[in-house]
Amino acid sequence: VTGIGDDCAVLRVPPGHELLVTTDFTIENVHFRRDWHRPELVGRRCLTRGLSDIAAMGGEPLAAFLSLAVSSDVPQKWVDRFLKGVLDLAAEFKVPLAGGDTAQSRAGIQADIVVVGSVPKGKAVLRSGANAGEQIYVTGELGGSAAALARLMELKPGGPEYFQHFSRHSHPFARVAVGRWLRQRGVASAMIDLSDGLSTDLDHICQESHVGAEIEAEAIPRAQVGKKPVALELALHGGDDYELLFTSAATVPSKIAGVPVTRIGRTTQSAEMRLIGVDGKVRLLKAGGWEHFQGNQKS
Ligand SMILES: [Mg+2]
C-alpha cells in the first residue's frame, strides 16, 4: 500500500493468506569477499537468499526490506553497485524494496535482508511433512556454486575469468515458480531450499519429519564445469545453489516451470541418511554442509 517514505511500510495480505517472513545476514568476509565478488552479485545473492526461503515454503514474495551497514572505507560506488544487484533482481521478481535502514559500521559491510511473502492459509510447505517411503527430488544442478568458489580461491584476486563459467554462483535465481507449482498441486510433502548444501539441508527435512533418507550418488544432478561434472563432494556438501529439495509420494514431472527436476533417492523409516555410492556400496551420509570462508574451509 505504501513503501519507502513513511515510518512503516503498509502491506496488504491477500485475502485468505498467511504471512511468511524470512531474514538473512550477508556479512563481508563471511558470505563474500570484496576482492572476489562483484558488488552486483553480492546484492543479487543477498536478496536471492530471502526469495529462496519464500520459494521453499511454496509462497509468493510480497516485499523486501534491506538494512545495510557500511564502514567509511567502502566506496560509494560499491554501495551503488550492490544496490543495483538487489534492485535488478527485485524487479525480475516484481518484489518492491519497501523499506530498510542504513548506518555506518565500525568495519566492513553487513547487510540484512528481510523478505515478506504470503501463502494460502494452511498451505505452506513445511520441512516436517515427509513420510517414509516417499521419493526425494531436487531442482536444477548441484555443486556449481561451490565449484566456482573453489576456483575463486585458486585464482588471483582481480583475475579476469572470475564468473564466466559458473552461472549458479554468478547469477543465482530463487525457484519461486517451482515452489508455487508444487504447493498449488499439493505435490511436495516437505520442502527446503538448498542454501547450506544437500547433506545439511536434507538432514533438516529428516530431523523435522522423523524419517531417514537413502540417496543414490549416481542420480544427483551435478553441475558442469567446462565439460566435466563437479566433484560429488561439492554436489553433496556445497552451499549456495538455491535449488529446491522436496519429498513426494505423487508423480513428479521431469520439468517444472522450465526447471529440470531429478529424483535422487527415497525417504526411509530408519533415522539415518545413507548414500549408495557409484560403486554400489552403502555409506552413512552426514550433514557435512557448507562452512563459510572463516575457519576451516571445506572446498
Ligand atoms: Mg532456507
Say how far apart CA 214 and CA 101 lie, in whole Å: 45
Residue-wise pLDDT for 193-249, tens only, equals: 999 999 999 999 999 999 999 999 999 999 988 788 999 999 999 989 999 999 999
Distance 234 CA to ligand 1 centre (A): 19
Cell of 293: 570462508
Residue-wise pLDDT for 107-153, tens only, equals: 999 999 999 999 999 999 999 999 999 999 999 999 988 888 887 77
Q: Which residues does 265 contact at the CB level (< 8 Å), separation at least 6?
A: 135, 136, 213, 214, 215, 216, 219, 276
Distance 6 CA to ligand 1 centre (A): 30
Distance 125 CA to ligand 1 centre (A): 12
Nearest to 273 by CA among 213, 229, 219, 184: 213
Distance 53 CA to ligand 1 centre (A): 4
Q: Would the pTM count as exceeding 0.95?
A: no
